[in-house]
Structure 1
Amino acid sequence: MLMNGDQAETLRAMSRRASRGGLVGLPVLVRPQPQVIAVVSGKGGVGKTNLVANLAIAFARTGSRVLALDGDIGTANLDLALGVQARGVITDVLSGAKRIEDALTPGPEGLFVLPASSGEYDLANLSDRDRGLIFDSIEGLSDKFDVLLIDCASGIGANAVSFGSAAQRVLLVASPEPTSLADAYATVKVLSSHGAVRRVQVVASMVSSPAEGEDVFRRLCVLADRFLDVSVEYLGALINDPAVPASIRTGVPLLVRSPASPAAIGVAQIARKLALDEHFEPVSGAVRLFWRRVLAERSS
């Protein structure tokens, strides 16, 4: 959904009102080096992109400098979830058609998004020149952002595995449906088999209650603990909430349109846990390291 001028001004006004309301108890998150968070899911339709969009807003409201990257190159829609019209897409940067600064699109609360195109772009076929272009572009962003959020493609395709394996931390979104849990387990299995992922943080989505969210985690944990060498931790639940489809229909992000809704509060709580995570240690040059890992993974 592309916004006209009136819609854009309405979104900005709603964002200002929501921002004044704040996210109670959410600390300011400003790190000396960016943290790179990949958000994955075993299947589509579980609210992954919506979570990424609203986590980006939640972090931005703490004063963090946030870049949201659409890693779902085939069916990209993160820009729509944020209610913005793309200035450029990631393939423009990879091809050299745009500088990364020109492809970044401003979003709510001062965050930026780098959208993806709807066509496939094979990272494995990058030339040395294109690799250098990416390294130079990303290196220039290393001191400009505190948080890089990646909306990965659903499932265990090459792009999702590359982004997930290269990130510092992985968030896995799963719903109570048996197929979602089975696919979530398969995703963790593939990521752990690559050796780089040893810790996965779970968000239970589309649940009827906090208790059902914990049940989703327990069911997934039984499989992971028994068969995989990976630590699976619970981040929280996103309750079924009519405010979510309403925000999607209007093209206004949940934390802007309905900041006091149960689902928005759930997102804020998840953002708080991420911000206060004592087990996370930022890595110097995290953004550059992330891209080098992605390119190395796809070229091997």
Structure 2
Amino acid sequence: MIDNNIYDQASGLRRLTKPTLTKVVAVTGGKGGVGKTNVTLNLALSLAQQGKKVMVLDGDLGLANIDIMLGVRAHKNLGHVLDGECELADIIVEGPYGVRLIPATSGTKSMAELTPAQHAGLIRAFSSLEEEVDILLIDTAAGISDMVTSFSRAAQDVLVVVCDEPTSITDAYALIKLLSREHNVQRFKIVANMVRSYREGRELFAKLTLVTDRFLSANMELVACIPLDEKVRLSVRKQKVVVDAYPRSPAALAMKSLANKVVTWPVPKAPSGHLEFFVEKLLRNEKTSEIEDDYV
């Protein structure tokens, strides 16, 4: 079971945290290779360019890559935090435009298969974080692991990145179905990525909602159509994101438009409205999982 001290730390954080409301957005997709990390980082830099204090958590705990994609050198990562070698604040690195990055490990199977105690350790690490943050973006792993569902349940908004491929649509539906039916996440914001036109993006959204409307009660909203753009590939080779390397390219303009929408999304004052509420919601997720395990 989770130590009550974790709950005490989260409660203490409420008293210590500055009054800034933190918007928590999980970026997910079900299938790998849909451009989820690219969307996350472009969104982060676009928001930072607007003067927002942005933090990005690499939620792909076994195949981390956000620091590599930005050409940032991370000397320590979440693996060191969980091993007790340092605090979460010690591993945070600064990226372009002041974006704060929380790097995870790469090529470490154990990090992709955390035990309940390690989950609790990760949550405990967040409860000690006192940085002022306007927007926390979580780049989740591919698939539907426990960490993907935990991060998605704890966030205020879930961005689902989808490509016009049968496997991408199928995997996105499977993720939405799991979160909707088993974890009570009912609102999803869809990003149609690497589409050849806005019309293709709308048609992709229609394909997805054809099955979600029929079998689920989830609320779906198309929030962005990101065009297929050669400049995205070129920017990745430069270890930059397209909004920085090619700010006037079609993909960059679409990313910036998405950022403009994100800042208008309301930040609820109920649990998850502050960064410490994000921690507490994760705690409740862990508590629920343990109770369910007791009855299996």
**In structure 2, what is the Cα distance between the partners aligned to 1:132 and 1:238?**
33
Indicate conservation of the 8 Å contact 2:30/2:175, yes or no. Answer: yes
TM-score by length of 2: 0.84
Instruction: Give the drift of 1:283.
Output: 4.4
Counterpart residue number, 2:118: 126
Q: How many residues are matched?
A: 265
2:159 aligned counterpart, secondary structure:
strand
Question: Which of 112, 116, 119 in structure 1 is aligned with 2:100?
Answer: 112
Counterpart residue number, 2:268: 281
Q: Which runs of 5+ in 2 are unaligned?
A: 1-18, 291-296
**In structure 2, what is the Cα distance between the partners aligned to 1:148 and 1:168?**
10
Q: Which runs of 5+ in 1 are unaligned?
A: 1-30
Counterpart residue number, 2:4: none
**In structure 2, what is the Cα distance between the partners aligned to 1:242 and 1:208?**
12
Percent same amino acid at aligned positions?
A: 38
1:267 aligned counterpart, secondary structure:
helix
Indicate conservation of the 8 Å contact 1:174/1:203, yes or no. Answer: yes
Counterpart residue number, 1:254: 242
**In structure 1, what is the Cα distance between the partners aligned to 2:215 and 2:103?**
36
Indicate conservation of the 8 Å contact 1:124/1:295, yes or no. Answer: no
Counterpart residue number, 2:71: 83
Question: Which of 133, 145, 152 in structure 2 is aligned with 1:145?
Answer: 133
**In structure 1, what is the Cα distance between the partners aligned to 2:30 and 2:123?**
32
- CA deviations on 1:18-71 (whole Å, 9 max, x unpaired) are xxxxxxxxxxxxx93101000000201110000101101011111111100000
**In structure 1, what is the Cα distance between the partners aligned to 2:248 and 2:242?**
9
2:133 aligned counterpart, secondary structure:
coil
Question: Which of 78, 84, 100 in structure 1 is aligned with 2:88?
Answer: 100
Counterpart residue number, 1:170: 158
TM-score by length of 1: 0.83
- CA deviations on 1:140-175 (whole Å, 9 max, x unpaired) are 23xx11000000011211111111111111000000
Q: Counterpart of 2:200 in structure 1: which amino acid?
A: E
- CA deviations on 1:197-216 (whole Å, 9 max, x unpaired) are 11100000111111101111
CA RMSD of aligned residues (A): 2.0
**In structure 1, what is the Cα distance between the partners aligned to 2:279 and 2:215?**
30
**In structure 1, what is the Cα distance between the partners aligned to 2:127 and 2:172?**
35
Cα distance, 1:187–1:257 mapped onto 2, change above 3 Å: same
2:257 aligned counterpart, secondary structure:
helix
Q: Where in structure 1 do 4 or more consecutive aligned residues deviate above 4 Å?
A: 282-285
